[in-house]
Structure 1
Amino acid sequence: MTTGFAAMPSSASYRLTRARAPLCLVDAGGLAADRDGLALIDIAVEAGRIASILPAGTGTLADGPALDLDGGIVLPRLVDAHVHLDKGHIWPRRRNPDGSFMGALNSVMADREANWSATDVRARMDFGLRCAFAHGTAAVRTHIDSLGKQIGISWPVLAELRAEWAGRIAIQASPLFGIQFALDQSHVRDVVAAVKTHGDGLFGCVSYMIPELDAALDIVFSTAIENGFDLDFHVDETNDPQARSLENIADAAIRHRFTGRILAGHCCSLAVQEPEAEARIIAKVREAGIAVVSLPMCNMYLQDRAPGRTPRWRGVTALHELKAAGVPVMIASDNTRDPFYAYGDLDLIEVLREGTRILQLDHTGNDWANAVARTPSAIMGQEGRGVLSPAGPADLILTRARDWTEFFARPQANRSVLVDGRAIDTTLPDHRELDHLMGGRS
């Protein structure tokens, strides 16, 4: 298998020499970082595992054949904490008519009702997984639209794909429905049954300001506690400062003394609060133990869009302030070629590159690589993923970039991806493979 470098060693034991890795993602002592937070290291690989990580030049020739990375940045395979595999790639047949959030919501609802058979959902989900795998993703958490008949269609497909992709990508799933449906006991029973049969111990919904919000959240938290579920919310995906359901979620977590994991996605309106309100909400989020994932590309696409008017803000949440307060933060892909985001390819290197630009992560510390690796791995309970550690899997992304400016200047399309120490085929699937599903173009 050829790579962005020379051919990988064919031996089961070999060394990758003169690699640069973000020190924040390396679980090994005795290493020093440069001004970009990168450590120059040698990595020994034996039988698909990392045998050692040492300062460059301190390994031994007995460690097997070597591949000189010439200072290129090496990352662990990455972890995508918020995607929508079931929505992906419907854009050719169901566009967003105006680029707005409501345009996206209505288009997806219409497409779901007309087209989301098991065959359709499976083909599009599998296509997305193939893209993510080729780009170097080790684990994903996907949201599954869970309303009416779709519950019985999409969840069995999800379970089948999880089994088929085992050993390549770890797949988690969380249900997705509007918070008002939590007030419907029959609906909650149906979703809980699907999660118990086909899911991963995750429960969640889209949270926004409704008069019965606290009562609905009490049902969500009680359901999670009764069934031992972790929680995942879509939260306040709007630029309306009156949208503060994140605070209600934090209050509910504290009220219920919830001890499971909670992930809140989007939280866009937090960035448009008055400073006092923002600080109060963030303090509650930290107290409640909530982690936050920002979706920079999708939210910049949707938020603050109005015909003929230049957007005034970037759509993302107050990620720097959350991180400074001690809240675990991360970024993720979100939607892919559907009405909520017309672009994207489930490429976390693209997400990190664009997130760095959109959120201005580049002058605020050297540990932001955690946001697509170590931190989402922890919140998803994916032990050993998203880090480089002795005895851990040799699941790596190799690049030619020697520092972050080289890394972010180009898409790293010539990256090499190793799974269990072996280079995989990084050829991306052709979008034409889905043409047979796109007969009804809008």
Structure 2
Amino acid sequence: MTGFVTLPEAPAFVLKNATVPAICLDNASGFEAREGLVLADITVENGRIAAISAPGTAPADLPAADLRGGMAWPTFTDMHTHIDKGHIWERRRNPDGTFMGALENVRADREANWSADDVAARMEFSLKCAFAHGTGLLRTHLDSLPPQHEISFEVFSDLRERWADRIEVQAVALFAIDMIFEPFFDGLIALLKRRGGLIGGVTQMLPDLDARLDRLFQAAGEAGLDIDLHVDETEDREVLTLKAIADAKIRNGFAGAVTVGHCCSLARQDEETARRTIERVAEAGIAVVSLPMCNMYLQDRHQGRTPRWRGVTLFKELAAAGVKTAVASDNTRDPFYAYGDLDPVEVIREAVRILQLDHPLDDTARTITRTPADILGRPERGMIAVDGPADLVLFSARRWSEFLSRPQADRIVMRNGMGIDRSLPDYRELDPLMDM
């Protein structure tokens, strides 16, 4: 395939002189790391990785592609997206870029346009983009206010099956937690058990928040569902439901996985409140995903005023406390975020800048590979391992500065040892859905 190097057309070959993030190797012992990067030869046989060895030690009789120090990563995990909302910007924009503007315009578009055909076409387009960029595992939240939950989860089930050999797709039901005592909630739990989804929701500062969280955790436990919540996506320091969620997980003895996204208002707390909250999150074993591009776009936006803060959570402090942390795309070309292309390279490049994930960069690669794959229960997808599939993303960039300074448009995406067609879908494919 076209790229910065030509892959051998043979059942067995070697990727020579590959620079690999050490954090993505199942065994990096024996390799000397520099900024968390190691040099290795990767032997591929029949679509799988046969060996990972020191440079120059791979079998000399095999055809080889010399990466000349170019990077080799596992395929990416984009663990928090909204592909049901994606690509509606041209027909339903956010007039002022605010969070309320996003809520109102997504609601209006959903009520007017979200038929099964409309949602399926936009979700398909999104998966084409993600696949071309090198994503192998993706989790999407699906707006689940009735009757949309039935429509969107049927579409998801079909897409998951058709895309199974390209991207593994997971789906989370997104709804307002103030609906949790309505009959709708029991039906939603039944639908998620049928469709193999996760229970999600948006937490709010309600007088009976603890009772609602208990209902959520108890229902999820009884149904065997994991939980993935939208939490404290606001600059309002009075809104802090994160600790209540951790308390509820511990109080209910919930054994499933719990993930929380955003947690923006945590960064607005005084140091002592933040410390206590982070300690409780770590104790509860809750994972946190930050969405730096969308949060920087929406948070602290006021007409005619320059934002005073970056909008993101206390990522470094959470990680230092032992909390599993990752970054992800979030929204794409919709009222919540006008831009984006479901490209994890863009996500990590911007995350490094926004969250200052450098100095050092040694384990930064984990945030879109190893850690999110582990959080999503598919740890093997975040690793380059002997006997694993040769699902790799190859870059001409040799070092972090090269990798983070360009969009890596010449990358090669390998699936089962072969380069894929990286052509991105044309936006014109979506024209029939737009009010052009």
User: Shorter-chain TM-score: which interval?
Assistant: over 0.9
| Separation of aligned partners in 2, 1:284 and 1:365 | 27
Paired AA for residue 150 in structure 1: Q
Other-structure match for 2:189: 192
2:10 is the alignment partner of 1:11: yes
2:393 is the alignment partner of 1:394: no
1:61 Cα shift? Answer: 1.0
| Separation of aligned partners in 2, 1:310 and 1:31 | 49
Other-structure match for 1:221: 217
Paired AA for residue 196 in structure 2: G
2:353 is the alignment partner of 1:357: yes
**Helix, strand or coil at the partner of 1:167:** coil
Q: 1:122 aligns with which of 120, 136, 152?
A: 120
| Separation of aligned partners in 2, 1:4 and 1:188 | 51
Contact 1:399-1:412 at 8 Å conserved across structures: yes
Contact 2:35-2:360 at 8 Å conserved across structures: no
The 5-angstrom pairing of residues 59-208 of structure 1 reads 59-62=58-61, 64-184=62-182, 186-200=183-197, 202-208=198-204
Paired AA for residue 187 in structure 1: F
Other-structure match for 1:2: 2
Contact 1:49-1:391 at 8 Å conserved across structures: yes
CA root-mean-square deviation? 1.0
1:199 Cα shift? Answer: 2.4
Other-structure match for 1:340: 336
2:248 is the alignment partner of 1:252: yes
1:29 Cα shift? Answer: 4.2
**Helix, strand or coil at the partner of 1:411:** coil
1:233 Cα shift? Answer: 0.4
| Separation of aligned partners in 1, 2:134 and 2:289 | 20
1:365 Cα shift? Answer: 4.5
**Helix, strand or coil at the partner of 2:108:** helix
Contact 1:78-1:138 at 8 Å conserved across structures: yes
Mean Cα displacement is larger for which, 213-222 or 298-307?
213-222
| Separation of aligned partners in 2, 1:92 and 1:31 | 52
TM-score by length of 2: 0.99
Contact 2:22-2:28 at 8 Å conserved across structures: no
Contact 1:41-1:53 at 8 Å conserved across structures: yes
1:347 Cα shift? Answer: 0.2
| Separation of aligned partners in 1, 2:70 and 2:102 | 40
Cα distance per residue 1:386-417 (max 9 Å; x no partner): 11110111000000001000001000011000
Paired AA for residue 47 in structure 1: N
Paired AA for residue 46 in structure 1: E
Other-structure match for 2:276: 280
Other-structure match for 1:49: 48
Paired AA for residue 106 in structure 2: V
1:215 Cα shift? Answer: 1.3
Number of residue pairs the alignment of both structures matches: 436
1:30 Cα shift? Answer: 3.7
State the 4+ residue runs in structure 1 displaced beyond 3 angstroms.
none
Cα distance per residue 1:310-335 (max 9 Å; x no partner): 00111100000000000000000000
Q: Identify unmatched segments of 5+ residues in structure 1.
A: none
Gap change, CA 1:29 and 1:355, over 3 Å in 2: closer
| Separation of aligned partners in 1, 2:425 and 2:30 | 39
**Helix, strand or coil at the partner of 1:3:** coil
Cα distance per residue 1:287-317 (max 9 Å; x no partner): 1110000000000000000000000111100
Contact 2:172-2:199 at 8 Å conserved across structures: yes
**Helix, strand or coil at the partner of 1:2:** coil
Other-structure match for 2:233: 237
**Helix, strand or coil at the partner of 1:107:** helix
| Separation of aligned partners in 2, 1:50 and 1:272 | 46
The percent identity for this pair of structures is 55
Paired AA for residue 223 in structure 1: A
Q: 2:423 aligns with which of 413, 427, 435?
A: 427
| Separation of aligned partners in 2, 1:182 and 1:287 | 26
1:259 Cα shift? Answer: 1.2
Other-structure match for 1:27: 26
| Separation of aligned partners in 2, 1:396 and 1:58 | 20
Contact 1:17-1:43 at 8 Å conserved across structures: yes
1:97 Cα shift? Answer: 1.2
Paired AA for residue 191 in structure 1: L
